[in-house]
Amino acid sequence: MRRFSFRLEPVLRYRRMIEEMRKMELAAARAEYDLARARLEEVVRRREELEGVLRRREAEGLSAAEAQLYLGYLAALRDLEAARREELKRAEEKLEMARNRLLSSRRDRRAVEILRERELERFKAEMRREELKLIDEVSNNKTARLKGEGR
């Protein structure tokens, strides 16, 4: 009996390999996004904490020099927060691109898999036809032999 052979098997293997690479890229992009989000959250937390300290210190009465130090640090934190937001935006765009590339590679792989499934079904149907043909031949030979023997 013949074995099934899919002529595009190397293409299918390649597409599966590409899909696995895209999964790894997505995981890396997701990790980068999570890190960027955590870094932003940390800066926001520090800024909010400093604003609370500044409000308390203002209520207690704070010198101009001290206020200037707090406000300078607060401005630096706001700048850092803006930079972290931009970093998060870039990481989010990269994550979306990685997600789209994975979806595209899945569609590409699936298209070849569908071709393989169709060819396999045709192969199985052909094997069934050949098997039935062989059974018919054996049956016809037996019938002819029995007739030849006079039975």
The set of residues, in sequence order, having a beta carbon less than 8 Å from that of 1 and lying 6+ positions away, is 127
Say whether pLDDT at 151 is over 90: no
- Which residue type is seen at 8? L
CB atoms within 10 A of CB 125: 10
| pTM > 0.85: yes or no | no
pLDDT tens profile 100-134: 999 999 999 999 999 999 999 999 999 999 999 99
Q: Where do the structural domains in the chain lie, given as residue ranges?
A: 9-116
pLDDT tens profile 32-50: 999 999 999 999 999 999 9
Please give the Cα distance from 78 to 47 (Å, whole number). Answer: 7
DSSP label of 1: -
- Using CA atoms, how far residue 51 sits from 45, 61, 66, 98, in Å, is 10, 15, 14, 38
Q: Which residue has the tokens 């030849």?
A: 148
Gyration radius of the chain over CA positions: 35
Helix (H, G, I), strand (E, B) or coil at 5: coil
Exposure string of 96-118, with b = 16+ CB inside 10 Å and e = fewer, is eebeebbeebeebbeebeeebee
Please give the Cα distance from 149 to 98 (Å, whole number). Answer: 75
Q: Which CATH number applies to 9-116: 1.10.287.1700, 1.10.3720.10, 3.40.630.10, 1.20.1070.10? A: 1.10.287.1700
